[in-house]
Amino acid sequence: MYDLIVIGGGPAGMMGAATAGARGKKVLLLEKNDILGKKLRITGNGRCNLTNSSPIDDFSQSIVNNGKFMYSAFAAFDNVGLINLMQSLGVSMKVEKGNRVFPASDRSADVVDALGRRLRQNNVEIRLNAAVKEIMVSDSRVGGVVLEDGVNIKCGRVLLATGGMSYRQTGSTGDGYRMAKMHGHSIIEPRPALAPLLTGERRFKDLQGVTLENVQVRAAVGSRQAEQQGELLFTHFGLSGPAIINISSYLSRKATFPLEIKIDLLPHFSTEQLAERLYQCLAQNKGKYFKNALGGLLPQKMILLLFEKAGLNPQKQVDQAGRKDVDQLARTIKSLTVIVSGFRPINEAIITSGGINTKEINPSTLESKKIKGLYFAGEIMDVDALTGGYNLQIAFSSGYLSGASVVV
């Protein structure tokens, strides 16, 4: 008889299983894929941005939904604990821009292999190709699980760590939501987060492939203003890149479309400084068209769009351009309006916003408040963060706390 059955061999499930195993519990880990950590392998473009080296108390600033719910989990196992664990398993780590922590080898497979070693060290039994169909519950107590092939496995404690709903090919197909809902849990509607944005404005499609290294994106979210700075990429469907991906998480459950976002294309200039700089460009380019006199401040492919948005005639000569035109262009560059029509589909989102309602989970143990012996960890819970390694830390910390909370 097992002390704990873990459903899902992602970072949350593997950490939960290994932690309970390290405490002498007899653990069975069930994973429906033929390998562990299929999503973990593709994180950080195959390099795995494992966590962030900022102080753990600052993590809540980067968690978009239910950061406070994570306090106990972070206190139980934080980023330093995770980095030390990886190093003890032979994976050295390095820190990059934005305090992002990666394996020194740049190989996410090294992280997955290390977790596999940790599971074996702690005698966790692993069954691959084992899809769970449902959790058995009677009198509000867990009784075990039923596999897709009809096999029943009895156990009084189950950790549900089946992930969210994005990148379904990695195994996260939303099974856990259905299983928890069957037993009375409420699910905050799963929506795409950390997702590219669509625009119906055809002229932005002409910019496909243009990348801007440092822009500031702003959007009104209810009564608040969300802001993100970083790279922006124009694509055939609209907008992508880190600044867009991050702001999408703030829009995920609050925005109604169509929605206006504002992009400051040159945030290191004030509007006045930019107008001054444009003037200098014009002075140095007399005899040219205004549109060809901007001194490489922005990619040439963007200029016609900016003139159109600013209501300026691109055929105007530099000598005909007055202060009003320059000021208007500067204002447009500092606050380019894009009408966003929605998100790319949830399957293309990096993370799912929504999931098991955190009000129904005890934050100190991650046990369900509705079903005795049912625990949750990772993306299945209604917690999501910006990019930077925070989402994996959420998975590892919650996996650890749930595994450590199992008392037999």
Q: Does 122 bind ligand FAD (CB under 6 A)?
A: no
Out of 26, 42, 81, 339, the residue judged to bind ligand FAD by CB under 6 A: 42
C-beta separation of 262 from 335 below 8 A: yes
One-letter amino acid for residue 169 of the chain: Q
Q: Does 249 bind ligand FAD (CB under 6 A)?
A: no
Least distance to ligand FAD, CB of residue 226, Å: 20
Least distance to ligand FAD, CB of residue 1, Å: 20
Q: Is the dihedral of CA 355, 356, 361, 365 positive or negative?
A: negative
Number of residues forming the site for ligand FAD (CB under 6 A)? 38
C-beta separation of 1 from 25 below 8 A: no
| Stretch of 7-15, 114-122, 233-241, 285-293 contacting ligand FAD, by CB under 6 A | 7-15
Q: Does 118 bind ligand FAD (CB under 6 A)?
A: no
Q: How many CB atoms within 10 Å of residue 280? A: 10
Q: Does 190 bind ligand FAD (CB under 6 A)?
A: no
Q: Does 43 bind ligand FAD (CB under 6 A)?
A: yes
C-beta separation of 70 from 391 below 8 A: no
Out of 11, 67, 342, 354, the residue judged to bind ligand FAD by CB under 6 A: 11
Q: Does 175 bind ligand FAD (CB under 6 A)?
A: yes
C-beta separation of 396 from 12 below 8 A: yes
CA distance 70 to 78: 11
Nearer to ligand FAD, 13 or 230 (CB): 13
C-beta separation of 142 from 135 below 8 A: yes
Least distance to ligand FAD, CB of residue 211, Å: 19
Joined tokens for residue 88: 């003890």
- Residues in 79-108 that interact with ligand FAD by CB under 6 A: none
Least distance to ligand FAD, CB of residue 219, Å: 22
- Residues in 293-352 that interact with ligand FAD by CB under 6 A: 350-351
CA distance 128 to 29: 8
Q: Does 56 bind ligand FAD (CB under 6 A)?
A: no
Nearer to ligand FAD, 44 or 238 (CB): 44
| Stretch of 1-9, 69-77, 197-205, 357-365 contacting ligand FAD, by CB under 6 A | 1-9
C-beta separation of 399 from 15 below 8 A: yes
Joined tokens for residue 173: 């197909």
Least distance to ligand FAD, CB of residue 150, Å: 14
- Give the 3-state secondary structure of residue 242: helix
Nearer to ligand FAD, 42 or 89 (CB): 42
Out of 18, 22, 135, 395, the residue judged to bind ligand FAD by CB under 6 A: 395
CA distance 359 to 344: 29
C-beta separation of 246 from 387 below 8 A: yes
| Stretch of 2-10, 219-227, 233-241, 336-344 contacting ligand FAD, by CB under 6 A | 2-10
* Strand positions, DSSP E, 206-349: 211-221, 224-234, 238-240, 259-264, 336-343
One-letter amino acid for residue 5 of the chain: I
With 0-12 CB in 10 A as exposed, 13-18 as middle and 19+ as buried, what is 34?
exposed
Q: Does 119 bind ligand FAD (CB under 6 A)?
A: no
Q: Does 241 bind ligand FAD (CB under 6 A)?
A: no
C-beta separation of 389 from 49 below 8 A: yes
Out of 40, 64, 217, 281, the residue judged to bind ligand FAD by CB under 6 A: 40
* Strand positions, DSSP E, 235-291: 238-240, 259-264
C-beta separation of 188 from 180 below 8 A: no
Least distance to ligand FAD, CB of residue 385, Å: 8
Out of 6, 20, 39, 160, the residue judged to bind ligand FAD by CB under 6 A: 39
- Residues in 355-394 that interact with ligand FAD by CB under 6 A: 378-379, 389-392
Q: Which residues of the chain form contacts with ligand FAD (CB under 6 A)?
A: 7-13, 30-33, 38-40, 42-44, 48-49, 131-132, 161-163, 166-167, 171-172, 175, 350-351, 378-379, 389-392, 395
